[in-house]
Structure 1
Amino acid sequence: MKVILVRHGETEENKKGIMQGHIPGKLSKLGIEQAKRLAFKLKDEKIDYIYSSDLDRAKDTAKEIAKFHTKVKIELVKSLREKFLGSWQGKTQKELGFSNNKVIPCPKDAETTEAMFNRAKNFLDKLLETHKNKTVLLVGHGGINKALTAAITNKTSNEVKTIDNFHNTSLSIFELDENKNHKINLFNCIKHLD
């Protein structure tokens, strides 16, 4: 199975440093342009299935890509949602006291990284069962894409944090076989934005 993993375009909330989690998010003008450039980059790619987070910022990015793949229906799935951030959602990083050197533990009402990883792994396992030898496009978010990458590369939930943060509309391409052996063809690429 070939997995094309992308993150949504920049949102108005990203620009303001707002913690989104399960907030829908609205693509900024730049985010719409990023999504269009990503869509153009993927226009000649053979895509059999498109799965997107049901949150607006990912859904709107997926819609741009699907304009070049009109025979492929977008399947909206909650499994690809961003990590639920509990009481942090809607607050700015500044309000929460974030700085470059300061690590702040997630609030108790937030989804744990382990729970997000398990959600990603279960979704990936289902795809592997049902979409062998197919190309699947996944449109997600920074956190869930890190969890998916950990699952694809046979890492644990504790290793999710070691994976690089994903840029808006970054493109990663993986190949997976039925034994979960993987090959990374592209990772966190944003050359389409140049």
Structure 2
Amino acid sequence: MKLIVVRHGQTDWNKQDLCQGHANIPLNEAGLKQAEQVAQRLKSEKIDLAFTSDLERAVVTADLILAHHPATPVEYHQQLRERNYGVYERKTYSEFRQGIVDSGELPHLFRPESGESLLDVQKRALDFYGSLLPRCLSETVLVVAHGGVVQSLLLGIDHQPFAEETRKRYSHANTGYSILNVNSVLS
């Protein structure tokens, strides 16, 4: 399977460095331009199937990409939603990082009240991937999701740890994308 994984375009909350998680925040003007640019870069790719988070910022990004691929079917999945930041939703990332420090947990194990840890997100993303791979092995698949999901998915596919330096290597800016050729299920 050829897997194209794209992070959604910028939102005002991205620009303000706020945890948006499951909040349904739309793309801002810069995010729409970013999505149009990634759509241009990917227009020559053959895309057989598309999967996107059901949150508006990912849906609009996917729609702009798929405007160049009008026959491509698209499915919307809650499994591809961003990390649930729980009580930190709408708070700054610096407040969130301080919450991690205060908890004494490793960053990938920290589960805020009413939220998810990065390991929870990775399990959700890899469960989605595991269900996708057997049915799409000979296809080119587009996945449009969120920063935490993209990072967790790619770390899992590549069997990499959640170490800080590794996480940075797998981080994607808004509308950053990766193209992978994968041919086996996770072990």
- 1:115 partner amino acid: D
Q: Structure 1 or 2: larger helix share?
A: 2
Deviation at 1:160, TM superposition (A): 8.2
The answer for unaligned runs of 5 or more in structure 1 is 182-194
Aligned residue for 2:138? 133
CA RMSD after TM alignment: 2.2
- Partner Cα separation in structure 2 for residue 16 and residue 123 of structure 1: 30
- Partner Cα separation in structure 2 for residue 160 and residue 75 of structure 1: 32
Are 1:146 and 1:160, in contact at CA under 8 Å, matched by a contact in 2?
A: no
Q: Does residue 1:163 correspond to 2:171, yes or no?
A: no
Aligned residue for 2:87? 87
Q: Structure 1 or 2: larger strand share?
A: 1
Are 2:160 and 2:166, in contact at CA under 8 Å, matched by a contact in 1?
A: no
- Partner Cα separation in structure 1 for residue 73 and residue 185 of structure 2: 28
- Partner Cα separation in structure 1 for residue 126 and residue 118 of structure 2: 12
Deviation at 1:98, TM superposition (A): 5.2
C-alpha distance after superposition, 1:21-56 (max 9, x if no partner): 001111111100000000011111000111000011
Deviation at 1:91, TM superposition (A): 2.0
- 2:155 partner amino acid: A
Written as runs of structure 1 = structure 2, the 5 A alignment for 1:36-185 is: 36-93=36-93, 96=95, 103=101, 106=110, 107-155=112-160, 158-159=162-163, 162-164=166-168, 165-178=171-184
- 1:152 partner amino acid: I
Are 1:147 and 1:160, in contact at CA under 8 Å, matched by a contact in 2?
A: no
How many aligned positions are there? Answer: 177
C-alpha distance after superposition, 1:55-114 (max 9, x if no partner): 1111110010010000012211011110100011122335x2758xx9565523211222
When normalised by structure 2's length, the TM-score is: 0.86
- Partner Cα separation in structure 2 for residue 97 and residue 11 of structure 1: 19
Describe the shift of the 1:104–1:19 C-alpha distance in structure 2 as closer, same or farther (beyond 3 A).
farther
- 1:27 partner amino acid: L
Are 1:150 and 1:160, in contact at CA under 8 Å, matched by a contact in 2?
A: no
When normalised by structure 1's length, the TM-score is: 0.83
C-alpha distance after superposition, 1:129-167 (max 9, x if no partner): 1101111100011100011101211235x4587222210
Identity of aligned residues (%): 35
- Partner Cα separation in structure 1 for residue 65 and residue 37 of structure 2: 9
- 1:120 partner amino acid: A
Are 1:52 and 1:138, in contact at CA under 8 Å, matched by a contact in 2?
A: yes
Are 1:8 and 1:141, in contact at CA under 8 Å, matched by a contact in 2?
A: yes
Describe the shift of the 1:178–1:82 C-alpha distance in structure 2 as closer, same or farther (beyond 3 A).
same
Q: Secondary structure at the match of 2:31?
A: helix
**Range with bigger deviation, 109-118 or 129-138:** 109-118
